[in-house]
Amino acid sequence: MLINLNKKSFKKFDFLLLITTILLSIYGIVMIYSATLSLNSTRYVQTQIISTIIGLFAILILIFFDYELLEKLYIPIYILSIGLLIAVLIFGVGDDQWGSKSWLYIGSFGFQPAEFAKVGVIISLARIIDKYKEDINSPKTLAKILIFALIPIGLILRQPDLGTAMVFVFFTAVMLFVAGLRIKYFLAALGVVVFSLPIVWLQMADYQKERIYNFLNPERDPSATGYQALQSRIAIGSGKLFGRGLFNGSQTQLNYLPEKHTDFIFAVIVEELGFLGGTVLLLLYLILLMRMIRIAKNTTDVFASLVVTGIASLLFIHIFQNIGMTIGLMPITGIPLPFMSYGGTFQLINLVCVGIVLSIGLHKEGLSF
């Protein structure tokens, strides 16, 4: 199903969203190059560039593709997402290095099924909510929707990957809120979470508990479990207003900052480009999210609006959690920063998400600029 594009169609095309996405991707490639300069390896930058090029081609394809096909295929998409999450529990690797089975390998090619599942679940959940939107506040209907959403969340918790599971919980809650779910249900859910915290604590792995301890008391173990957070704050603080200069960050280039090209890339940005560099990044993110919110508000199709809402909330929680943990306002969870952190699968999925949003904005009537 292809969109018949004409001059009138392109008047609705969100060029600002596309340009912002490209600028963020270029920004990320430059900072990954800086972060990996001392590692004497170009494979990180090469992988990011290849993923970005593939992702931009995906955007081009999605622009000409009618997103309504995704709505029709929501059941196969959901089954595929669940299948990938089950496969990672059986064949996945990564628990020795990262504490959770989050990677699948086919030969030498490795990817994170949870990244694909995020998009698949957003699409499927949007269709289910749209299907039951008139009766969403019925306990029976809400239970059906929650079961649909909790299956992938439960599989991710089995890896175990609490951070990614919380991402799923967040965009599910936002989509339900936008769909008109009453506040009383959110308050009830909050109460359940509070009372279940002791059980959750007992189920957490030791490294997860250490992250909580270090978040509450950043100075308790600066040479071991608290080392990452401490070095991140040192790097950010040393950047001041204009930074130490691109490729000149001491914490970055002398390898004091762990995971500097992935989870802690924001610390690299602020150390080398200062408060100014960090502010530019936040402004780009703001433009990206505002354009998505605009499309979601002006799209007449409930399914489409919910998909864009889910994608926007997915990107927001990644941005909020990642930057929050690098500056010490959130516990460390291993959540990467969109378009900036190194990761082929992650970069590709982010660009695919933008492509879906652009397709929705281009195809639906009612957009104004």
In a domain, 183, yes or no: yes
135 secondary structure, DSSP code: G
Report the C-alpha gap between 315 and 337 in whole angstroms. Answer: 9
Q: What is the pLDDT along the chain (369 residues), one digit of tens a residue?
A: 555 555 555 677 899 999 999 999 999 999 999 999 998 889 999 999 999 999 999 999 998 888 888 999 999 999 999 999 999 998 888 765 666 778 888 877 788 899 999 999 999 999 999 999 889 999 999 999 999 999 999 999 888 888 899 999 999 999 999 999 999 999 999 998 888 888 888 877 787 788 888 888 877 777 777 888 889 999 999 999 999 999 999 999 999 998 999 999 999 999 999 999 999 999 999 999 999 999 999 988 999 999 999 999 999 999 999 999 999 899 888 899 999 999 999 999 999 999 999 999 987 644 443
Cα dihedral across residues 295, 298, 304, 307: positive or negative:
positive
Q: Whole-model pTM?
A: 0.93
Q: What's the CA gap between 144 and 156, in Å, rounded?
A: 19
Whole-number pLDDT of residue 7: 57
Write the burial class of residue 256 (CB in 10 Å: 0-12 exposed, 13-18 middle, 19+ buried).
Answer: middle
Read out DSSP for 231-242?
A: HHHHHHHHHTTT
Rounded CA separation 158/162 (Å): 9
Q: What's the token pair of residue 304?
A: 């489409």
Q: Which helix (H) or strand (E) holds 363?
A: helix 344-363
User: What is the number of structural domains in the chain?
Assistant: 1
Place of tokens 């998909």: 307
Q: Is 327 exposed, middle or buried (0-12, 13-18, 19+ CB in 10 A)?
A: middle
Q: Which residues contact 11 (CB under 8 A, 6 or more apart)?
A: 369
The CA distance from 105 to 233, in Å, is 34
Q: Does residue 2 form part of some domain? A: no
Residue 217's Cβ-side half-sphere holds a number of Cα atoms within 13 Å equal to 5
> Quick check: is 272 in a domain?
yes
Helices (H) and strands (E) in the chain, counts: 16, 2
In a domain, residue 1? The reply is: no
Range of the domain at 181: 7-363
Q: Which long-range contacts (CB under 8 A, 24 or more apart) does 177-180 make?
A: 178/296, 178/305, 178/306, 178/309, 179/129, 179/133, 179/136, 179/302, 179/306, 180/133, 180/136, 180/137
Tell me if 270 is assigned to some domain: yes
Q: How far apart are CA 197 and CA 182, in angstroms?
A: 24
* 111: in domain: yes
Helices 344-363 and 43-63 pack at an angle, to 10 degrees, of 20
318 occurs within a structural domain:
yes
Q: Looking at residue 227, what is its pLDDT?
A: 87
In a domain, residue 369? The reply is no
Which residue, among 219, 217, 248, 251, has the nearest Cα to 232 in the 3D structure? Answer: 251
